């Protein structure tokens, strides 16, 4: 094994993450190469200096503070839950989402209303154009029979209704 290969594997060697075969080759090289051995030692020393980091003792009452916070969060969660099936709030989701999401929801509903109004107006106008009653057809609800086939019951009813007053007048 050459110095270049050994140097690139020193870190993994220190962590004992190399295969036994590679470890053997590394150790053979390190036994004879002063330069690589020196580098290994320098890496070890630098890493060992991490041990000088002092850690202060755990702050007093840490566990108690964690438990107090946990209890407060647990009680908040309980308060949020409905007490009975009758305490059903279909719009609760609205109070639980962010302001931007609320605005988006409002905008969607408004848009849907406007679109609905516009479309229903269109339908009415186009419907009026198609079924606008003329002359004798201006009878409440009878314009629906206009589209009836000539020999149908609807057509017969319309003929009878429209002609009946005139005939009645002639008879008189």
Give the interface with another protein as residue ranges (CB under 8 A): 11-12, 14-15, 17, 42-43, 45-47, 49-50, 52-56, 58-59, 62-63, 65-67, 69-71, 73-74
Closest contact distance (angstroms) between CB of 7 and another protein is 10
Q: Which of 104, 102, 79, 78 is nearest to 91 (CA)?
A: 102
Rg (CA), the chain: 45
We find the least distance from the C-beta atom of residue 73 to another protein, in angstroms, to be 7
Does residue 45 contact residue 75 with C-beta atoms inside 8 Å?
no
Nearer to another protein, 61 or 141 (CB): 61
Residues 6+ apart with CB under 8 A from 12: 18
In this complex, which beta carbon is closest to another protein, that of residue 13 or of residue 137? 13
CB of 12 to another protein, least distance (A): 6
Q: CA-CA-CA-CA torsion for 48, 54, 59, 65, nearest 10 degrees? A: -30
Closer residue to another protein in complex, CB, 49/134? 49
Q: Minimum CB separation from another protein for residue 34, in Å?
A: 18
Residue 100 beta carbon to another protein: minimum distance, rounded to whole angstroms: 21
Structure tokens at 72: 């407060």
Residue number with CB closer to another protein (38 or 116): 38
Q: How far apart are CA 142 and CA 144, in angstroms?
A: 5
Give the residue with the Cβ less far from another protein, 45 or 168. Answer: 45
Residues 137 and 146 sit within 8 Å (Cβ to Cβ): yes
**Residue indicated by tokens 């590679």:** 22
């Amino acid at each position: 094994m050459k110095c270049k290969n050994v140097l690139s594997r020193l870190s993994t060697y220190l962590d004992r993450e190399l295969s036994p075969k590679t470890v053997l080759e590394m150790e053979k090289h390190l036994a004879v190469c002063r330069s690589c051995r020196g580098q290994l030692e320098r890496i070890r020393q630098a890493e060992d200096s991490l041990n000088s980091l002092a850690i202060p003792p755990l702050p007093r009452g840490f566990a108690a503070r964690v438990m107090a916070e946990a209890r407060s969060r647990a009680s908040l969660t309980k308060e949020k839950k409905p007490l009975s099936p009758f305490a059903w709030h279909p719009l609760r989701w609205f109070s639980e989402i962010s302001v931007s999401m609320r605005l988006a929801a409002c905008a969607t509903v408004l848009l849907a209303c406007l679109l609905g109004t516009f479309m229903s107006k269109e339908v009415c106008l186009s419907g009026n154009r198609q079924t606008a009653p003329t002359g004798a057809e201006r009878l409440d609800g009878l314009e629906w029979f206009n589209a009836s086939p000539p020999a149908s019951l609807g057509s017969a009813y319309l003929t009878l209704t429209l002609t009946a007053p005139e005939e009645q007048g002639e008879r008189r």
